[in-house]
A and B are shown apart, each in its own frame.
Chain A
Amino acid sequence: MVIFSTFFSVIIGLPLGILVVITEKNGIWEKPKLNWILETIINVSRSFPFIILMILVFPLSRIIVGSTIGTTASIVPLSVAASPFVARIIENSIKEVDKGVIESVISMGAKPIDIILKVLIPEAMPSIVLGITLTMINLVGFSAMAGAIGGGGLGDLAIRYGFYRFQTDIMMSSVILIIIIVQSIQFIGNKLSKAVNKN
């Protein structure tokens, strides 16, 4: 559930984040109107509390996966909720790329698309990896919440057995499992980021 939502939110958030950076004023593909629209979409969707967003997205889940309940169904709202977050994170990572480096590549006659694929993304990769790690960890939290409203998964377990039926041991083991999952994600993320960092 978390893995799939991360995947889909990156698919949506990555291009969004890059577009926001390049369409900005003095960006490599300046488009003030498009930039304003993207900014608004990201800001509005980021300000929705997750639970509400999830309910709003139920119809979409039904269209895409044919159901609003269960693990597969909750991937849709989770991805939608995390996408603007990913977009922001990617935006920040891309903005960290040295302006001088971009300029030197422009001075070689590079096209915007080359700059994006061959400079911005590779140069920002260590930071992007850490950002995606953070997204995944947030999604673990969100998915627990999704569990509460019928999303299945560990959160569901913790709530159903732990909260409603007072089975403390099941709740505790769910919590411990979540902690272990979060720790492992962070650990792997850090390792990966180091591996792609050539500085």
Chain B
Amino acid sequence: MISINNVYKFYENNDKKFKALDDINLEIKENEIFGVIGLSGAGKSTLIRTINRLEEPTKGHININGENILNFNKKELRGLRKNIGMIFQSFNLLNSKTVFENIAFPLRLQKLDKEYIEKRVNELLDLVNLKDKKNTYPSQLSGGQKQRVAIARALANNPNILLCDEATSSLDPKTTKKILTLLKDIQKKLDLTIVLITHEMEVIKEICNRVAIMENGKIIELDTVTEVFTNPKTETSKSFINKSNKDLNYIKLSNLEKRKVYKLKFIGEVSKEPVISEIIKKFNIYVNILSGNIDELMSNSVGTLIVEFLGDEDDINKAKNWIKDKNIRLELIKN
């Protein structure tokens, strides 16, 4: 649906060339929630902004539904933008206009008739659950409410694509969760393709199907969220995951000298089975659980256990083989 090929973006500042995007290749599928994560300055915003050409790539190709959008003239570009909603970290509502007028704004731009606008805005207010704030000005809304108005406004023209640039970064965790749930619902209801940018793994975990990890203008890793969570390949993705798995950092491995510590990763259904009890019964060994955690991903759940096995060496080895057969990832993290 959106394909980005060999896209580069250079900024030139006092003779210094800066590569904000460095050979980006990306295929975003219809109806998926695609996440882009990276540290500040990685080029995430620059990337997402090329999709509606708020930022012009220096070179490369961007196709949306088979059309090369970099060839669009001004009028075609305006047409494209009506089909792509966008929300921002700072909400960007018009302060001089009420909630109703803000949501009606993109419709009024097209001079649609009054009755239709009234009806459509009411529908949207319903969708984001803000009926009672219809005539309020943005300055009287909370951050979460402002973002909901922004979402309604972005959806007014029935777009196929929604771009979210750090849409939850200025919200508290609880509000973030609510907004993400709303986005997830809306995506299903309206068959949207969502491209979402964030620096928080929690957000990716919560709603994304696939994720790209960016660093220095490059995509250094790209896979399904489950795969990245269970098998991160780069240091950057590992550190993002560890940041979100705070529990695992609590155990101090140095306190466990001369003991073998393993990390078990359960993906999908198996994460809900009583695997540990089974091991204890079957192999007659002790399992000491040092730490545990289940990540509920958008499409899967991934359980992580940090354990040590105590007992007969042979029994332990048998248990380890059984674990591997069960499709549980086993990794020795301390010897």
Q: Which residues of A contact B (CB under 8 A)?
A: 98, 100-101, 103-111, 114, 118-119, 122-123, 125, 196, 198-199
Contacting residues, chain A, for B79 (C-beta < 8 A): 109
Measured CA separation A100–B97 after assembly (Å): 16
The interface bits of chain B over 173-197 (1 if a CB of A lies within 8 angstroms of the residue's CB, else 0) are 0000000000000000000000000
A110 touches B94 (CB 8 A): no
Measured CA separation A194–B171 after assembly (Å): 29
Measured CA separation A114–B81 after assembly (Å): 15
Contacting residues, chain B, for A122 (C-beta < 8 A): 94, 96-97
Measured CA separation A114–B106 after assembly (Å): 11
Measured CA separation A123–B95 after assembly (Å): 7
Which size bracket describes the interface of B in this complex?
Answer: 20 to 34
A123 touches B94 (CB 8 A): yes
Question: 6 closest pairs, A vs B, by CB?
Answer: A109-B81, A104-B92, A109-B78, A198-B137, A108-B106, A107-B86
Measured CA separation A118–B108 after assembly (Å): 10
CB of B105 within 8 Å of the partner chain = yes
Contacting residues, chain B, for A111 (C-beta < 8 A): 78, 109
A106 touches B109 (CB 8 A): no
Which listed residue, B77, B78, B80, B94, touches A119 by the CB 8 Å rule?
B94
CB of B52 within 8 Å of the partner chain = yes
B90 touches A100 (CB 8 A): yes
Contacting residues, chain A, for B138 (C-beta < 8 A): 198
Contacting residues, chain A, for B139 (C-beta < 8 A): 198-199
A123 touches B96 (CB 8 A): yes
Measured CA separation A107–B78 after assembly (Å): 8
A100 touches B92 (CB 8 A): yes
Closest Cβ of chain B: how far from A98's Cβ, in Å? 7
Residue among A106, A196, A198 with max Cβ neighbours from chain B (10 Å): A198
Question: Who on chain B is nearest to A119 by CB?
Answer: B94
Contacting residues, chain B, for A114 (C-beta < 8 A): 109
B96 touches A103 (CB 8 A): no
The interface bits of chain B over 139-179 (1 if a CB of A lies within 8 angstroms of the residue's CB, else 0) are 10000000000100100010000010000000000000000
A107 touches B97 (CB 8 A): no
B81 touches A106 (CB 8 A): yes
Q: Which residues of B contact A (CB under 8 A)?
A: 52, 54, 77-82, 84, 86, 88, 90, 92-97, 105-106, 108-109, 137-139, 150, 153, 157, 163
Measured CA separation A114–B95 after assembly (Å): 16
Residue among A100, A109, A114, A119 with max Cβ neighbours from chain B (10 Å): A109
Given contacts A109-B77, A111-B78, 6 further A-B contacts (CB under 8 A): A101-B92, A103-B88, A104-B150, A108-B153, A119-B94, A198-B97
Measured CA separation A104–B108 after assembly (Å): 15
A selection of 16 A-B contacts at a CB cut-off of 8 Å is A98-B92, A104-B92, A107-B81, A108-B81, A108-B106, A109-B80, A109-B106, A111-B78, A111-B109, A114-B109, A123-B96, A125-B96, A196-B96, A198-B97, A198-B138, A199-B137
A110 touches B96 (CB 8 A): no
A103-B54, A199-B139 as given contacts; A118 in contact with B92, CB under 8 Å: no
Question: Who on chain A is nearest to B90 by CB?
Answer: A100
Closest Cβ of chain A: how far from B277's Cβ, in Å? 54
Contacting residues, chain B, for A101 (C-beta < 8 A): 92-95
B54 touches A107 (CB 8 A): yes
Measured CA separation A111–B82 after assembly (Å): 12
Contacting residues, chain A, for B84 (C-beta < 8 A): 107
Closest Cβ of chain B: how far from A99's Cβ, in Å? 9
A107-B81, A108-B82, A109-B82 as given contacts; A198 in contact with B96, CB under 8 Å: yes
Measured CA separation A123–B94 after assembly (Å): 7
Which listed residue, B95, B109, B137, touches A110 by the CB 8 Å rule?
B109
Measured CA separation A104–B91 after assembly (Å): 9
Closest Cβ of chain A: how far from B12's Cβ, in Å? 13
Question: Who on chain B is nearest to A104 by CB?
Answer: B92
Measured CA separation A100–B80 after assembly (Å): 20
A125-B96, A199-B139 as given contacts; A106 in contact with B90, CB under 8 Å: no
Contacting residues, chain A, for B97 (C-beta < 8 A): 122, 198
Measured CA separation A114–B94 after assembly (Å): 13
Closest Cβ of chain A: how far from B138's Cβ, in Å? 8
Contacting residues, chain B, for A196 (C-beta < 8 A): 96
B137 touches A104 (CB 8 A): no
Measured CA separation A103–B96 after assembly (Å): 16
Measured CA separation A131–B82 after assembly (Å): 35
